[in-house]
Amino acid sequence: MSSFKDYLNNNRDLVNSFLEDYLSEPFLPPKLHESVRYSLMAGGKRVRPILCMAAYEACGGDPKDILPQAAALELIHTYSLVHDDLPAMDDDDLRRGRPTNHIVFGEAMAILAGDALLTDAFRIFSESKTISAEKLIAGTCELAASAGIFGMVAGQAQDIISEKAEPDRETLEFIHLNKTAALIKCAVRIGALLSQAGPDTVDHLTEYGKKIGLAFQVVDDILDIVSSTEELGKPSGSDQEKSKMTYPSLYGIERSREIAAELVDNAKTAAGKIEGDPSILIDLADYLLERTN
């Protein structure tokens, strides 16, 4: 387990170092630079970049070769959090243990910081000295589809539309598969698509990413109920307060825990079928299931 923790810490450090370099040159206006930096460097597990790098490594590549592409995923994830927290969306005032972006910089600057992060993610993604243009185009299309109207944005929209609605399985799965799982699955698929992986391995990693992405959100739903604000770094109980459609609201906490464990087991089975070493991906699946924040 210590070696796996070292793996997480080392790769998190690589991502953070890249992001620090990315933000090292101030841009104008200074308030926008400060706002972008405030949210992007607020901490976080860097799950999506690490998953991308782990999938690439499992397929035989050196994860440092795709650090820009992995880091681009974190820009998109951070943009989604900044916009999610806005008063017109989830109206949250705490994120990663400190005031949300719009509380510190105002709503207009928070919106623009999110816009900047989303847009610049594609510039960062397109820059590589080691990955072919053909693979970068495939990865860019994957990223756009997963973050846009066929992925994360669709899930976020349905999440808002479904507040106070009676929970139903079909709508709940649509929200979770798109709101959270789409970008996590995308991270894994990009790692595979940028590598030399064959079609079967890409398919197995797609299934792996889909299952752990869904499990990740199920665990989030549970933690919102059972964890404290201090543990989460954001307001606990907010899903219930806003009458969000969640797995516990439909299935209860214990059944939700069982569902998350089943999803992780299925993900590990899919990872075990790849041509390559799935050990880190399997450890990552367990880590995402057992996390406490």
Percentage with pLDDT > 90 across the chain:
86
Give just the sign of the alpha carbon dihedral 156, 175, 154, 49: positive
Please report which confidence band the pLDDT of residue 11 belongs to, taking 50, 70 and 90 as the band edges: very high
Percentage with pLDDT > 70 across the chain:
99
Question: What is the full DSSP assignment across the chain?
Answer: -HHHHHHHHHHHHHHHHHHHHHTSS--SSHHHHHHHHHHHTS----HHHHHHHHHHHHTT--GGGGHHHHHHHHHHHHHHHHHHTSTTTT--SEETTEE-HHHHH-HHHHHHHHHHHHHHHHHHHH--SSS-HHHHHHHHHHHHHHHSTTTHHHHHHHHHHTTTSPP-HHHHHHHHHHHTHHHHHHHHHHHHHTTT--HHHHHHHHHHHHHHHHHHHHHHHHHHHHS-HHHHTS-TTHHHHTT---HHHHH-HHHHHHHHHHHHHHHHHHHTTSSS--HHHHHHHHHHHH---
> Cα separation of 108 and 121, whole Å?
20
Count the domains in the chain: 1
Q: Residue 90's domain is classified under what CATH number? A: 1.10.600.10
> Cα separation of 141 and 177, whole Å?
18
Average pLDDT of 264-285? 96
> Structure tokens of 203?
């398919």
Whether residue 29 has a cis bond before it, omega within 30° of 0: yes
> Structure tokens of 24?
């090292």
Which among 142, 137, 159 is positioned nearest to 246, based on CA atoms?
Answer: 159
Mean pLDDT of the chain: 94
This prediction's pTM: 0.95
Which among 86, 71, 83 is positioned nearest to 127, based on CA atoms?
Answer: 71
Please report which confidence band the pLDDT of residue 43 belongs to, taking 50, 70 and 90 as the band edges: confident
Please report which confidence band the pLDDT of residue 2 belongs to, taking 50, 70 and 90 as the band edges: low
Helix axes 199-226, 279-290, angle to 10 degrees: 20
Q: Which of 167-171, 231-235, 270-274 has the highest mean pLDDT?
A: 270-274
Write down the residue that tokens 């993900």 correspond to.
267
pLDDT computed for residue 235 by the predictor: 78
Q: Domain residues for 99?
A: 2-290
Please report which confidence band the pLDDT of residue 214 belongs to, taking 50, 70 and 90 as the band edges: very high
pLDDT computed for residue 240 by the predictor: 82
pLDDT computed for residue 107 by the predictor: 98
pLDDT computed for residue 238 by the predictor: 82
pLDDT computed for residue 249 by the predictor: 92
| pLDDT tens by residue, 186-211 | 999 999 999 999 999 999 999 999 99
pLDDT greater than 70 at residue 1: no
pLDDT computed for residue 236 by the predictor: 77
pLDDT computed for residue 292 by the predictor: 81
| pLDDT tens by residue, 74-126 | 999 999 999 999 999 999 999 988 999 999 999 999 999 999 999 999 999 99
